Amino acid sequence: MKLRRLIIPAWLSLMILLLACPPVQAYSGVFYVIPAAAPLRECASPQCAVLLTVYQGAKVEILERTPTGWSKVRLLDQAAMGWIPSDWLSISPDRQSVAMPTYYVNTNSLPLRVHPRPEAQVLTTLYFNDPVEMLGVGKSGWAQVRDLKTSQVGFAPPRYLSETSMSSPPPSKRRRAPARKAPPQEKPEPPSAM
């Protein structure tokens, strides 16, 4: 009787635990990256850091999927893993590329950098109204973009990119020099009484 009292709660606990855990889904087969260039991220969010850029047709294996539309993948050609939106993957290598949003440079010149830092090496210089493909914005606050003229992928501050082309660059904001203070004037001394 005592053994029965122990077995029933243990069995019920096991059943509750099994029902609470979602089933593991296997994703067999090779999948292909659809966009011309896509950031492979550190975690399942567009705000996560970019580990590297994968290109159209890259072969991947899906390791995990989230309900929010992200897949953790392993590149078959390289020793790399990361996260990518699930709808950017296809079982068919012939699927058309997903159109990434196009932005335009809204300043006279903009250096496209290797890393998302102002001191990073410059890949190329973009000029006013040059079109770029927006690949995402990382935690650093920098946008990863692909220059549509040269296909180079690099980083730039998103404040210098607009969703529409402009007729002329915005006027540059000039900082005014602080007003100079006039030197203190010497007050004449009152005449002394003798």
Question: How would residue 188 be classed by pLDDT, with cut points 50, 70 and 90?
Answer: low
Residue 137 Cα to chain centre, angstroms: 3
Calpha distance 66→179 (Å, rounded): 58
Cα(100)–Cα(56) distance, rounded to whole angstroms? 12
> CB of 62 within 8 A of CB of 27?
yes
What does residue 138 show for φ and ψ, rounded to 5 degrees? -90, 180
Strand partners, 143: 137, 156
Instruction: Look at residue 167 in the predicted model and tell me its pLDDT.
Output: 84
- 21-50 pLDDT per residue, tens: 444 444 557 888 888 888 999 999 888 888
Q: Cα–Cα distance between 66 and 51 in angstroms, integer?
A: 19
Residue 97 CA to residue 135 CA, distance in Å, equals 13
Non-local (6+) Cβ contacts of 106 within 8 A are 128, 129, 160, 161, 162, 166, 169, 170
To the question of pTM greater than 0.85 for the whole model, the response is no
- Output the DSSP codes for 111-146: EEESSSSTTSPEEEEEETT-EEEEEEE-TTSPEEEE
Can you name the residues that pair with 134 across neighbouring β-strands? Answer: 145
Q: Which domains, from first to last, does the chain contain? A: 27-97 (2.30.30.40), 102-162 (2.30.30.40)
Interval 46-88: pLDDT, tens = 888 889 989 888 999 989 888 888 899 999 988 889 999 887 8
